[in-house]
Structure 1
Amino acid sequence: MKSIQSILNNSIVVFIILLTTSCNSQEKKVETTEVANQIVQKNDAQIGEYVGVYEESNGTLWFLTLAKGVAKYDGNKLVYFTMDDGLPSNRIVDIVEDKKGNLWFGTGVGIAKYDGKTFTNFSEKDGLCSDMISNLLIDSKGVFWIGTWGGVCTFDGTQFKNFPIPYPKVATQINPDTKDWITSIMEDSNGNIWFGRDGYGASKFDGRSFVHYTTKEGLNSSNVQSIVEDKEGNFWMGTRVAERDNPDPDKRFGKGGLNKLDGKKIIHFPKNEGLNENDVYAIYKDNSNDLWFSTISNGVYKYANNEFINYKVPVPIMDILEDKKGTLWLGCAGGLYKIDQNGKVINVTINGPWE
């Protein structure tokens, strides 16, 4: 799951409402189709102003918020968990489930382990590298990776251990507030661990050494927000416009958007509105291995059979998830949405509609 803190925290880097030349080629035979879908928006209370989505192994859905805690939907009712229930913070940015069925919540004040009854909290006082969590991953070997605004650490259940990542040389100016922000962590099909970084691109760790991908290697921007491997082994990276950090509003424009690493070169998509010279925060591979790409003001794109299909969503998208029943959920700045079987985009509030 893409951390929902990513978009809100870009208020720090100017986005207030929410949060090399040889490689500039456009992928051929790619067309965009816009779905003539109807948007249904209700006036009921939103689940949260900023929403993320997680599904645990038993099918229970959790909706993360940055102010109201986390909401659990078990198929019958929606129940909120907050600091009153034992969470260290009402800012919930990520969730991961361990092999014992415990849920781990990344928050704005450390991490919390939930065994179904009680929360056990961990913070910098316990050795955590930073209390400001950004994302969580338990890899195929059982290693628990914790991404924060102060770098990466691992946790063996007892002890935290810092995991330093080298800083590659980059051409763009680094924002000191975000230079150690780990924006995403993912494991590829070969067991390599990838780290998205705000200003230092994407870093791949094979267990011994690092390989870095920045604008020098052809990325639109070294401010990488999300990384996903497709079924062919290509790597898709969503980036944000680094110039948004500029204190001068007239200079907040530059390159960003979607990038595809096919093993030889990095491909860009300049003809797809919202996927170039813009911010792409979330990339998701669904149960059919099709890809979905978020945008700030152009809805969400589905990529299947070399074609981009656009679904209009009225608010910026920060998280995407397809549940076990095949429903596609969109966590947004402005509430929760889903896309039904007919391509209709529906706003889901605390009163539903759930079915």
Structure 2
Amino acid sequence: MTKLLYVCGLLMLAFCASCGRTKTDLSDDKTRSETIDTVSSYGPKTMVRNVKKGRNGSVLIAASFAGVFRYDGKIFTNLTSKLGSRRFWDVLEDRAGNLWVATTDSGVYYYPKQAKSFQHFTTRQGLASNSVLRIFEDKAGIIWFGTGGGISRYDPQRAVSGRSDGQFFQNFTTKDRLPNNGINTIIEDRSGKLWIGTRGEACFYDGKTFTILRNKDGKAFNNVWGITEDKMGNIWFGAAIIEDKKGDTLVVTAGLWCYDGSGFTKINQRGNSAIIADRKGNLWTTGAVNPNGVGAWKLFRYDQQALSSKMPVATEIMSTEKMLCGILEADDGSIWFGSMNGVYQFDGKTVTDFRNKEDQK
């Protein structure tokens, strides 16, 4: 097996940590000015970290320092114009129609469906950290935040003792046996377990215990940025296995892995960042061909029929010298994905770059 030198700082940020479980007061920190949305025929031209589904078939785009945009099929609307320049990383429109915006420099902004201003949640209100990389809503309507200081849980239905707004944060950190406080991603499988990728070991959470994932040799999966569940219930993720340590340098092997409920199978040795399974059962990944992140980044599709093979062959959709990020299957079946310089759409035949023609040069 080829061994690669892995630089610990790759794809990592400096994160502030805050531990413990905290009841919160969310009423006194709001962006009180009304939001004035701006619209454009073109998409953002800065890094797009994540792309998510919005209401009525729209697409939500989190673009670092540019804002969070809604695309309705014709125009891009900047929903965060009044928030100024922030390092926007993720976005969620929950089942009630409320908008959540994650940043890695100033916590979370919350826009209730019936409101006219954002509320601002930080460590002051109980978040585990002001650096937030992931927002996820589970089947029960609980909102989970993956932060640089652990996991924060928000239950919109649970009333805090002595309060009438029903808002509540609960934090999980290494003190609660979370393997690492730096959280990259969170998903929920069909059984209700949460699968969590961290900048240390990956794990799953059954509501009581965090269990670290290990291969047949007992080695943990590290630095997981993308996890998904396919139509058969298999869990797919990209990860690094630490084979050795030489001074400050880690010797690792990286690749795409599949868990079928009984064991882990390594599919390839490419770097894999974001991963989704579409409605047809196809698997989509973005990642660097060279697992150390140097060189070309590619968008691949693994057809559903090929996934039953021990070594499924991938179809290359796009290659670029710049980083590719989060992936989304939109309601119309098209695939959206972020990059260092904007957002792209693949309709099954053509990749569309939504920047203006001058920026595309």
TM-score class, shorter: 0.7 to 0.9
Structure 1 residue 310, shift from structure 2 partner: 1.7
Contact 2:7 2:250 in 1 (8 A): no
Change (3 A) 1:267 1:102: same
Candidates 322, 325, 345, aligned match of 2:329: 322
Distance in 2 separating the partners of 1:47 and 1:242: 37
Q: Deviations over 1:173-225 (max 9, x none)?
A: xxxxxx4111111100011111111111x211222223220356667842222
Contact 1:144 1:154 in 2 (8 A): yes
Q: Deviations over 1:219-267 (max 9, x none)?
A: 7842222211111111111125769x9997xx57631121111222211
- Say whether 1:195 aligns with 2:196: yes
User: Which TM-score applies when normalising by structure 1?
Assistant: 0.74
Contact 2:216 2:263 in 1 (8 A): no
SS in structure 2 opposite 1:295?
Answer: strand
Distance in 1 separating the partners of 2:235 and 2:194: 13
Summarize the alignment of residues 147-226 of structure 1 with structure 2, pairs less than 5 Å apart: 147-157=146-156, 158-164=167-173, 165-167=176-178, 179-200=180-201, 202-214=202-214, 221-226=221-226
- Say whether 1:255 aligns with 2:253: yes
Q: How many aligned positions are there?
A: 295
Distance in 1 separating the partners of 2:228 and 2:264: 14
Distance in 2 separating the partners of 1:246 and 1:50: 34
Distance in 1 separating the partners of 2:75 and 2:88: 20
Candidates 103, 106, 113, aligned match of 2:102: 106
Distance in 1 separating the partners of 2:318 and 2:218: 29
Q: Match of 1:265?
A: 263
Give unmatched runs, 5+ long, in structure 1.
1-9, 17-43, 169-178, 271-275
Contact 1:69 1:81 in 2 (8 A): yes
SS in structure 2 opposite 1:189?
Answer: coil
- Say whether 1:232 aligns with 2:232: yes
Q: Deviations over 1:63-121 (max 9, x none)?
A: 21111111222233222244x5146x622111122232111111121111123542111
Change (3 A) 1:255 1:211: same
Candidates 319, 325, 337, aligned match of 1:313: 319
Change (3 A) 1:350 1:124: farther
Contact 1:215 1:222 in 2 (8 A): no
Contact 1:220 1:255 in 2 (8 A): no
Contact 2:225 2:274 in 1 (8 A): yes
Summarize the alignment of residues 23-62 of structure 1 with structure 2, pairs less than 5 Å apart: 47-51=44-48, 52-62=50-60
Candidates 263, 283, 290, aligned match of 1:291: 283
- Report the AA paired with residue 91 of structure 1: R
Structure 1 residue 334, shift from structure 2 partner: 2.7
SS in structure 2 opposite 1:152?
Answer: strand
Contact 1:258 1:280 in 2 (8 A): yes
Give unmatched runs, 5+ long, in structure 2.
1-5, 13-40, 157-166, 289-295, 307-312
Sequence identity of aligned pairs in percent? 29
Summarize the alignment of residues 74-89 of structure 1 with structure 2, pairs less than 5 Å apart: 74-82=72-80, 84-86=81-83
Q: Match of 2:274?
A: 282
SS in structure 2 opposite 1:341?
Answer: coil
Q: Match of 1:176?
A: none
Change (3 A) 1:130 1:68: same
Q: Match of 1:125?
A: 124
SS in structure 1 opposite 2:222?
Answer: coil
Q: Deviations over 1:117-163 (max 9, x none)?
A: 42111111111111100101111112211110000111234221112
Contact 1:293 1:301 in 2 (8 A): yes
Change (3 A) 1:345 1:255: same
CA RMSD, Structure 1 to Structure 2 (Å): 3.2
Candidates 63, 66, 69, aligned match of 2:61: 63
- Report the AA paired with residue 313 of structure 1: S
- Report the AA paired with residue 310 of structure 1: E
Candidates 89, 112, 117, aligned match of 1:115: 112
SS in structure 2 opposite 1:125?
Answer: helix
Distance in 1 separating the partners of 2:228 and 2:144: 17
